Structure 1
Amino acid sequence: MHSSTKTNLKEKSYSSEAVIGAIGDVLLHNTVYQDAEEGGSYNFMPMFQDVESFLKSPDFTIANQESLPGGAELGVSSYPAFNSPYEIVDALQQLGIDAVTTANNHSLDKGTKGVLSAISHYEKIGMPYTGSFKSKEDRENIRTFNVNGISFALLAYTYGTNGIPVPEGKDYLVNLIDLELMKQDIQRAKDLGVDMVVMATHWGNEYERYPNDTQKMLARELTNAGVDLIIGHHPHVLQPIEKLKTEDGREAVVFYSLGNFLSGQEGDLKNIGGIANVKVQKVIDEKGKRITFPEINFQPTYVTQSRLRNYRILPLAAANQSGLVSFPEEEMVSHVMSMEP
């Protein structure tokens, strides 16, 4: 009897799965927020209605809120210094977005006041955010989540802030890409005992469809340092997804750029974004704990409008069938799922 108990213990293994989804830049140019204006407030929901089911299908969905939602009281504004209505965040939350990343080149467009105003709204509605912070303590508080028994930390960094200097003594306002700092944060996240580390990186060259050498170098360094999933933004066009093998034998996934999800930018490639879904599997057995990514899916989307009104995000296949765009869905999916230029 004793030996059979031992065998049972040995064979006992545990596995769980979760799907993490991510979308690209939410960047509200004046044409977009003017289209959403309704009697003194803003309603963005109609813009998303055709893709709502895709946003709600992952177990956890992350968005890159690129234009700072400092609220209408600060004065809504467009390129080059963005400030968006609070209502965009309300819409994202209603659509099933579970967290926003906020470190990007527009984080300081409205200075300290803008960052604090956006954060006050995130806190008011209970929207988790990371990448820009209200204090040193806020920055040191690493955001962790648990989905279907898989725990992860979410971190976010940007290459810069369009030349706007970070105010003296307020480094916490925005996380800048700095490998040493990032490695310290990754270690702090791992010390919390999470199963995986997810990181949003604002990097690369605008409008380039393939990652540059810096992106590839950072992807290697960061995954080797312990990041399991990288969600890339900034190029405003889609770049491929790559699966890497780390030095310690782990699997890691890099979305180099998810393009624009909603913006007022012109041009087909800038209007194509999408929703990347990665299935995460956690296995615990006699060999220990492993995180793998058995499945990655990409649903391309397209932003359409008519004379700068009536902005809508459509599945790319629907936009293609309607004659709005000439890029077939298969072509964009194969571009994203293959690293070969």
Structure 2
Amino acid sequence: MSNYPLSYKLSWLPRFLKPSLGGDASGFAPASGTLMNPAPGQTVRLAFFGDISAVANSSAPDCDPAIRALLGTADLVIGNCESPVVDRPSAVLGTKLGTHHAMSERFLAEALAAAGIEREKLVLSLANNHVLDQGIAGFDETVAALKRLGIRTIGLDAGGPVRAVQVGPLTIGLAAFTLWRNADADQFAGRVSMDSDPTRWPRHGFDLLCAVPHWDWEFRHFPRSDTRALAKQLAGQGVGLIAGHHAHVVQPVERIGATVVAYGLGDFLGTALARQPWPGRIGEIFVVDVSADEGTFGAIASYRLHPFMRLRERDHERLVPVESLEGRMREKVVGRLSAVFPSPARGRREDPSPLATLS
């Protein structure tokens, strides 16, 4: 049994059809910002993307060269593997209907190649509600497939709540967890991390501790108060960077002291039906530059959200930067992004918003 409250279940379809802009929109930061001025001489670049799935794609996506180039600038790329990686789904009917996720090892490899993501630079989280959609055997097959592909994983109970990843001169701690599950608790126990309490995490030996949570409610652009409270708890325990997913729509950024929180990056590849309402087809790549200079080692120097759109193209999706959209679609997407992300405050030393060129 899943752990979703009844009100959540009842609101899923209405919010899927019409993602909500309701909620508390106060206290959020612009979509880009500079935390260190002057900029450090040496940095390490992290790039985060949202959920990746084959639900809306029968073949590998087409990816705009600008998105490929952006991902190519990163020293480490982190995303969420929303679908079990299996050769043959065991939940046949659910997989056909899209309620149960699955993607083949070949599809994942081709999708990553299409996006220009080098496997040796990639880390995928398996801490999400769909990871056991194909049962325990499908979970084991997923772990084995990612290992064969040379992709590092986070969000598994095995190995502890935080994984240390060496990125250039920096040691980055990555802690992934999910608040939601689609299967019984005993199936998740011992396999998938649901530990959201940072007081139980090791916090020493890392130059920067990052959380990658699968949290909040789906199809809501502004995070719930409980989600923001958890972000403050994580920041208070030394987590310097948070990049979340599960909402399937873009959500704002918050700065809590020196901690930067990107609440939701939307989907990288569609996770809910092939023909989805347009607000759910907006995604983002969250690029963070981290100082590697002596004296500021591991401090966040700057961040920027890069919005893109997933357009339908026959049996797959085409990922394009928002800047390349035209006509009415461009107007709608820019309007939605402007409603989610505040403009930089006057007098503050912020980078220009990536949305500024779209207004």
Taking structure 2 as the reference length, the TM-score comes to 0.74
Distance 1:55 1:329 in 2: 22
The offset of 1:309, in angstroms, is: 2.6
Tell me how far 1:300 sits from its aligned partner.
0.7
Taking the TM superposition and a 5 Å limit, the aligned residue runs for 1:280-291 are 280-285=290-295, 291=298
Task: Give unpaired runs (5+ residues) of structure 1.
Answer: 1-13, 37-43, 246-250
Aligned to 2:57: 32
CA, structure 1 residues 331+83, in 2 after alignment: closer, same or farther (shift >3 Å)?
Answer: closer
1:271 Cα deviation from its structure 2 partner: 0.2
For 1:54, which of 53, 62, 70 is the aligned residue? 70
SS of 2:299's partner is strand
The one-letter amino acid of 2:57's match is: V
Q: How does 1:181-200 map to 2 (within 5 A)?
A: 182-185=198-201, 187=202, 190-191=203-204, 193-200=205-212
Give the match for residue 3 of structure 1. none
- State how far apart, in whole Å, the 2-side matches of 1:337 and 1:59 are: 29
User: Conserved in 2, the CA contact under 8 Å of 1:265 and 1:271?
Assistant: no
Residues 329 and 66 (structure 1), Cα distance of their counterparts in 2 relative to 1, 3 Å cut: same
| CA 1:309–1:132: 2 relative to 1, 3 Å | same
Structure 1, 262-271 or 214-223: larger mean CA deviation:
262-271
State how 1:89-238 maps to structure 2 within 5 Å.
89-91=108-110, 93-94=112-113, 95-96=116-117, 98-132=122-156, 138-140=158-160, 142-162=162-182, 164-167=183-186, 171-179=189-197, 182-185=198-201, 187=202, 190-191=203-204, 193-238=205-250
Number of residues of Structure 1 aligned to a counterpart in Structure 2: 295
CA distance 1:208–1:73, change in 2 (3 Å): closer
Judge conservation of contact 1:197–1:228 (CA < 8 Å) in 2: yes
- Match of 2:85? 69
Query: Identity of paired residues, percent?
Result: 21
> Which amino acid is 2:279 matched to?
L
Q: Distance in 2 between matches of 1:141 and 1:295?
A: 26
Cα 1:88–1:129 shift into 2, 3 Å: farther
User: Which amino acid letter does the alignment assign opposite residue 153 of structure 1?
Assistant: G
Question: Which structure ranks higher in relative contact order (CA pairs < 8 Å, sequence separation ≥ 6)?
Answer: 2
Shift of 1:151: 1.2
Q: Secondary structure at the match of 1:106?
A: coil
Q: Counterparts of 1:5-16 in structure 2 under 5 Å?
A: 16=42
SS of the aligned residue for 2:172 comes to strand
Give the corresponding residue for 1:20. Answer: 46
Deviation of 1:297 (Å): 1.2
Structure 2 vs 1, CA of residues 184 and 273 (structure 1 numbering), >3 Å: closer, same or farther? same
Q: Residue 32 and residue 21 in structure 1: after superposition, are their counterparts in 2 closer, same or farther (change >3 A)?
A: same
Choose between structure 1 and 2: higher strand proportion.
1
What is the TM-score normalised by the length of structure 1? 0.77
Distance 1:129 1:225 in 2: 23
Name which one, 1 or 2, has greater alpha-carbon Rg. 1
State how far apart, in whole Å, the 2-side matches of 1:72 and 1:326 are.
41
Give the Å deviation of 1:88: 3.6
Task: Quote the Cα distance in structure 2 between the aligned partners of 1:200 and 1:67.
Answer: 17
- Report the CA distance between 1:54 and its aligned residue: 2.1
